[in-house]
Amino acid sequence: MGSEIENYKKATFAGGCFWCLVKPFDQWPGVISVVSGYTGGHVENPTYKQVCEGTTGHVEAVQITYDSSILSYETILDVFWHQIDPTDADGQFCDRGSSYRTAVYYHDEEQKQLALLSIEALVKSGRFNKPIVTPVLPAMPFYPAEEYHQDFYKKDPNHYHAYRSESGRDDFIVTVWGDVNKK
């Protein structure tokens, strides 16, 4: 067991509504956990209400614990880019405002370099006709969201699927990347 835990790493991403980021990561072999929460702000242990009010500086985010011997950070980055509009600095899809901004939060220098390389590859791909504005930032304290937000796609699948569809996220993903359900 000890050697497995040595391979466990964290990846943290902000991509708009955190509900929409859990399932895409959760389905990958090597993912140990995906936690919805808040990061990037100046208030300790913020609540959902405080974050939505926009006064704490936090964004909705997910923190993924993964086994790096099974799943690479490059793959995790790829999954992330396939879930967001990296050209939108003011939120994601129907969710507008500072708490819905995107970001890659790196936990070490290697993650930082890989994230920057992945942005370079996105730019070169020509998929987007606007500049990539998702920043790459050092990881900050991460605060898990309230329990009712955790694994929302499992707790209320009908609401989850309706929200994803109505938000415009799924249409965007299909337009830019193809089938929304692909890994």
pLDDT in tens, 96-154: 999 999 999 999 999 999 999 999 999 999 999 999 999 999 999 999 999 999 999 99
DSSP string, 64-83: EEEETTTS-HHHHHHHHHTT
Pairing of strands 102-106, 8-15: antiparallel
- Could you please state the CATH topology (level 3) that the domain comprising 2-177 is classified under: Peptide Methionine Sulfoxide Reductase; Chain A (3.30.1060)
52 counts as catalytic: no
Query: How does pLDDT run across 17-56, given as a tens digit for each residue?
Result: 999 999 999 999 999 999 999 999 999 999 999 999 999 9
Q: What angle do CA 135, 44, 163 make, to 5 degrees?
A: 60
The one-letter amino acid code at 21 reads L
Q: Where do the domains of the chain lie?
A: 2-177
Examine the pLDDT at 182 and tell me if it is beyond 60. no
Q: Is residue 25 within 8 Å of residue 33, measured between CB atoms?
A: no
Average pLDDT across the chain, whole number: 94
DSSP string, 104-171: EEESSHHHHHHHHHHHHHHHHHT--SS-----EEE---EEEPPGGGTTHHHH-HHHHHHHHHHHTHHH
Of 17, 20, 52, 94, which is the active-site residue?
Answer: 17
- What pLDDT score does 183 carry? 45
- Residue 63 and residue 144: Cα distance in Å, rounded? 9
